[in-house]
A and B are shown apart, each in its own frame.
Chain A
Amino acid sequence: MSLLITPEFSPVIPRRSFLARSGLLLTGTAVALLSGREALAAKSGKGAESDLRILNTALGAELEAIAAYQVGAESGLLQKPVLDLAVTFQGHHKQHAELLSTTIMKLGGHPVSAKDKYSFPVDTLKNQTDVLRFAASLEKGAVSAYLGAIPIFGNRDLAKAAGSILGDEAMHWAILRNAVGDTPVPEAFVS
């Protein structure tokens, strides 16, 4: 397939900077979101239990997204700069997972671990476009999942953190759509 990512949509993070950011270092925003909830550790009750379940489900989905991007990166189907883009997005999901995991522990919960094995439709991924469309479908689903979680968090700080992650994953979705030639932002609202 042709390379559909035009230069203006190529990854804009210089390699050195990207490498520094792509690990599990939390961004300033994420750290601020987390530190604002230090006092939550002492809280308990039904609301906190429900929040922990939501956080752990989100963590499970983030860990799966990390694994999915790994499959894409190792597939040999992605060419640069698309490959770099995928690795960058995977790095974001790692940061989301790290934030969720740390928050769960601060709230007294036990974060879920990554599964030993994930089942992805690899037999349907034949080229770069297939991989990008699959990634876009996961990102779209993630946006919907966070959108559905935000209203039911008992703690509004957690809802705010989920909104921050939602925004990032919506950007992933839009860029992946653009990369395969779809309208990047098809509608005014997400659902």
Chain B
Amino acid sequence: MHFRGPRQGAALAIVLALSGLAGADNGTQSTEMGAYARGALVYERCAACHALDTDRTGPRHCGLIGRRAGSVPGFAYSPAMRRSKMVWTEANLDRFLKSPVTTIPGTAMGYDGIKDDRERHDLIVYLREASREAKCQALLTNTGKPIK
């Protein structure tokens, strides 16, 4: 694994401070910062189809945690995803990321999954915290759904 440089580290500290993690004890903060940085690298695997703030081949990820599956306005989901009635809790996201095609059969996300438990955890930490970053907040504010 590679970790990002000082600039990314400073930005991460700001994100974590804004998200309340700065109030956590040093051990917890350090662990979460590590998870965020590792999760950002795992997220690079998603870049062919996904971005945080724009819909691409797959839907945007800003505000993913807590969102109902298949609910980004204007995105052409598979019928299976639209009908899944799943809410992207961290637990559900963990299950889906481990094996998308068995968790929601018929999903357009034809991907075997991330089998490593820690990688999925780190990715979910990244997705959760990235939604608190300025570009996600701006997008979500414009759509009336800021992340608290």
Residues on A facing B (Cβ under 8 Å): 50, 53-54, 56-58, 60-61, 64-65, 118-119, 121, 137-138, 140-142, 144-145, 148-152, 186, 191
Contacts and interface: CB of A to CB of B under 8 A. Distances in A.
B110 A50 contact: yes
A142 B111 CA distance: 12
Interface string B41-56: 0001111110100111
Q: Point out which of B46, B56, B112 has the most chain A C-beta atoms below 10 A from its C-beta.
A: B56
Given A119-B55, A145-B49, A57 B110 contact: yes
Contacts of B110: 50, 53-54, 57-58, 148-149, 152
B21 interface: no
Nearest to B54: A119
10 contacts: A57-B57, A57-B110, A60-B57, A61-B48, A137-B44, A142-B48, A144-B45, A144-B47, A145-B111, A191-B45
B108 A138 contact: no
Contacts of A140: 44-45, 47
Q: Interface of chain B, helix or strand or loop or mixed?
A: loop
A69 to B, nearest CB: 13
B109 interface: yes
B101 A141 contact: no
Contacts of A142: 48
A57 B114 CA distance: 18
Interface residues of B, number: 22
Contact of A138 (B48, B54, B101, B112): B48
Interface string B78-109: 10000000000000000000000100001111
A135 to B, nearest CB: 11
B126 to A, nearest CB: 15
A152 B115 CA distance: 14
A141 B106 contact: no
